[in-house]
Every structure is written in structure tokens, then in C-alpha cells.
């Protein structure tokens, strides 16, 4: 009598463990939502992320130099099966997709080693009112990267 009970338990335990697995979702990176701005001399970079909803977050970024837009990017983060995927469409170039390799309460790392550059896109919090971002990977066979520091700003049209 005892053996069938143990056998049943041994069969059910892996099923329970598999069903309790939690896949990362957009709610896990909801800390990115809002409007952000970074300054480097006369260059201003703005980044905005929608709140998580319906399995997606939408974003855009633009870099302004003087009175001109020097660069822009449309982005989204979406739940896809058991994965969280970052999709970027920079300045009219071909887009790229990056899958989350690390997701925590304060950091997310998206990666696509087959992409030209970057191969990794990283976002992290630096307190409640600051957001950091980094792109990195190999460029022309050399390790390369760029860091972005943003402070929270009021979203255009939002009530203050």
C-alpha cells in the first residue's frame, strides 16, 4: 500500500514543480514605465515607456542635438510564450529582437548573439527616479558598449 502512494507522489511532484514555474512578463519590468530624459552637453535623449498592459509595453526614444532629431527608435516589449522579448526598430533601420536572459525587480537583460550590434540591451533602475540603459556586444570584432543615464520627467500632456 505504501509503495503505490510513494510512486504517485514521485510522479506528481515533477508536475507540480513544472506548473509552479513563473515565466517573466511585462509586469516584471513595469518599473521602466514612464518618461525619462538624459543630457550630455547640448544633446538630449528622451525615452518613454507605456505601462504594462495586455502582455506588451510600447516605447520610443529620440536624441535631439540642437534643434534636430539626430536619432530615434520605436520599441516594444512583449510576452511571447514563456519568454519576454524586446523588439527595436532604430532610425528606419531593420529591426532586431532580443530575448530576456535575466529579469529581476531592478534589472533586465535582453540578448541576441546573432544580431550585428548590439547583442545585449540592458535596463536597470538607479532608485525610483532614475533609469539606466546599456547596449553592448561585439562591433567589428571588438567589445563595445554605450551607457545611458535617465532621470524621470513628467510625461508630455500628463497632469502634474
For residue 62, tell me if it sits in a domain.
yes
Mean pLDDT of 15-25: 56
Domain count, the chain: 1
Query: Is pLDDT at 5 greater than 80 in this prediction?
Result: no
Which CATH number fits the domain that encloses residue 133?
2.40.128.20
36-63 confidence digits (pLDDT tens): 999 999 999 999 999 999 999 999 999 9
Domain range for 32: 24-153
Query: What integer pLDDT is reported at residue 157 of this predicted model?
Result: 80
Question: Looking at the predicted structure, is the pLDDT value of residue 24 above 90?
Answer: yes
pLDDT at 6: 34
Tell me whether residue 145 is in a domain. yes
Taking alpha carbons only, the member of 81, 118, 82, 125 closest to residue 97 is: 118
Does residue 150 have a pLDDT over 60?
yes
Least confident of 14-18, 38-42, 75-79, 82-86: 14-18
pLDDT of residue 67: 93
Q: Is residue 92 part of a domain?
A: yes
Q: How many CA atoms lie within 13 A of 125 on its CB side?
A: 14
What is the pTM for the complete model shown? 0.83
The candidate with the shortest Cα–Cα distance to 57, out of 99, 87, 93, 37, is 87
Rounded to an integer, what distance in angstroms lies between the CA atom of residue 120 and that of residue 102?
11
What is the DSSP annotation of the chain? -HHHHHHHHHHHHHHHHHHT-----GGGGGGG-EEEEEEETTEEEEEEEPPPBTTEEEEEEEEEETTEEEEEEEEEEEEETTEEEEEEEETTSPPEEEEEEEE-SSEEEEE-TTSSS-SEEEEEESSTTEEEEEEEEEETTEEEEEEEEEEEEPPTT---
| pLDDT value, residue 11 | 37
Q: Is residue 98 part of a domain?
A: yes
Amino acid at each position: 500500500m505504501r509503495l503505490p502512494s510513494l510512486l504517485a507522489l514521485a510522479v506528481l511532484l515533477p508536475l507540480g514543480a513544472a506548473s509552479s514555474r513563473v515565466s517573466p512578463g511585462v509586469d516584471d519590468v513595469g518599473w521602466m514605465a514612464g518618461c525619462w530624459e538624459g543630457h550630455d552637453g547640448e544633446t538630449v535623449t528622451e525615452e518613454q515607456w507605456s505601462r504594462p498592459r495586455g502582455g506588451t509595453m510600447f516605447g520610443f526614444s529620440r536624441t535631439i542635438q540642437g534643434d534636430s532629431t539626430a536619432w530615434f527608435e520605436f520599441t516594444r516589449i512583449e510576452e511571447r510564450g514563456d519568454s519576454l522579448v524586446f523588439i527595436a526598430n532604430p532610425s528606419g533601420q531593420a529591426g532586431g529582437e532580443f530575448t530576456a536572459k535575466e529579469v529581476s525587480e531592478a534589472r533586465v537583460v535582453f540578448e541576441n548573439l546573432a544580431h550585428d550590434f548590439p547583442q545585449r540591451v540592458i535596463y536597470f533602475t538607479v532608485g525610483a527616479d532614475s533609469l539606466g540603459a546599456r547596449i553592448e556586444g561585439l562591433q567589428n570584432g571588438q567589445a563595445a558598449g554605450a551607457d545611458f543615464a535617465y532621470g524621470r520627467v513628467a510625461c508630455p500632456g500628463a497632469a502634474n
